[in-house]
Amino acid sequence: MRNICVIFRKQVIDTLKNKTILIQFLMFPVLVIIMENAVKIENMPEHFFVKLFAVMFIGMAPLTCMSAIISEEKEKKTLRVLLMSNVKSAEYLIGVGSYVFIMCAAGTVIFAIVGSYSGVELAQFIMVMSVGIVLSELTGAVIGILSKNQMTAAGVAVPVMMIFSFLPMLSMFNETIKNVARITYSQQISDIINNIGVSGITAENIIVITVNFAAAVALFTAAYIKQFSAINRV
């Protein structure tokens, strides 16, 4: 537990100095405040930007942050120093993961306030956002764990992040894209968020998210076993 706290604290201290990570956490929460207050178009659905940016936020921030943090520590070999100091790889990942989760949860709170969610709808919104954050974190962790350095990690993380964060937006305008996007958790989360207060969660929502989750856990486990079984792969 102590080691997890140490890693968590390290990330907190690093945040203000790490602009690329900081931007990820702040961009969409700030953007949603601006757009919701500045842009008023007739016939625009209520809280359009909240629903749009919330999904982009969870598709982007947890994924890129996890992969950037882990791959940087692999490249600089600070992760190896930690492991040589008897920090367990699980402790490290939980430390970084809980930090990213809390930062993204803070962003989620901003979305919730701007979207004026309350009661059951608020609970539903926070829940589905949390699931999205965890799924994106797992995906980002897999990329970070398997990459040798930040360059290769970014090379994989950017396209993957684009799929998860932009497909739900593009599918608003194009049925074909929507049919493809349906298999991603971010599209399903987008559907749930858009239906909050209108209709409930569908079976499709649950099934697709569950399958995505199972796949992410499987990938994560495989990557974890592959890279952390020998210290020289870290």
Partner 1 sequence: MRKLNGSIKTSKISKSFSGKTVLKSIDLDIKNGEIFGLLGPSGAGKTTLIRILTGQLSPDSGNAFIGGTDIRKITGRERRCFGITMDDFGVYERLNCYDNLKIFAGIYGLSKANIKNALKKVGLSNAEKTAAGKLSKGMTGRLKLARAFMTDPDILFLDEPTSGLDPAAAAEIHKMILEEKRHGKTVFLTTHIMTEAEKLCDNIALLNDGKIVEYGKPKEICRKFNDKKTLKIHLTDGRDIEIPLDKNSAETVAELISTGKAETMHTTEPDLETVFMEITGKELFA
The residue behind tokens 């858009």 is: 194
Q: Does 232 bind partner 1 (CB under 8 A)?
A: yes
The residues, any chain, with a CB within 8 Å of residue 131's CB and separated by 6 or more, are 185, 189, 209, 213
Beta carbon of residue 104, minimum distance to partner 1 (angstroms, whole number)? 21
The residue behind tokens 């926070």 is: 126
Nearest residue (CB) to partner 1, 88 versus 127:
88
Q: Does 224 bind partner 1 (CB under 8 A)?
A: no
Distance of CA 210 to the CA centre of its chain: 16
Distances (CA, A) of 7 to 102, 159, 179: 14, 28, 41
Distance of CA 166 to the CA centre of its chain: 13
Evaluate whether 157 touches 63 at the Cβ level (below 8 Å).
yes
Nearest residue (CB) to partner 1, 3 versus 130:
3
Near partner 1 by CB under 8 A, which window of 10-18, 34-42, 61-69, 169-177?
10-18
Q: Does 43 bind partner 1 (CB under 8 A)?
A: no
Q: Does 3 bind partner 1 (CB under 8 A)?
A: yes
Of the candidates 13, 41, 203, 225, which one interacts with partner 1 according to CB under 8 A? 13
Q: Does 10 bind partner 1 (CB under 8 A)?
A: yes
Beta carbon of residue 103, minimum distance to partner 1 (angstroms, whole number)? 16
How many other CB atoms sit within 10 Å of the CB of residue 178? Answer: 16
Site for partner 1 in 68-107 (CB under 8 A): 75-78, 80-88
Alpha-carbon gap, residue 46 to 218, rounded angstroms: 38
Beta carbon of residue 59, minimum distance to partner 1 (angstroms, whole number)? 26
Evaluate whether 190 touches 51 at the Cβ level (below 8 Å).
yes
Q: Does 9 bind partner 1 (CB under 8 A)?
A: yes
SS3 content of the chain, % helix, strand, coil (to 5): 80, 0, 20
Nearest residue (CB) to partner 1, 21 versus 189:
21
Q: Using CB under 8 A, list all residues that contact partner 1.
A: 2-3, 5-6, 9-10, 13-14, 17-18, 75-78, 80-88, 230-232
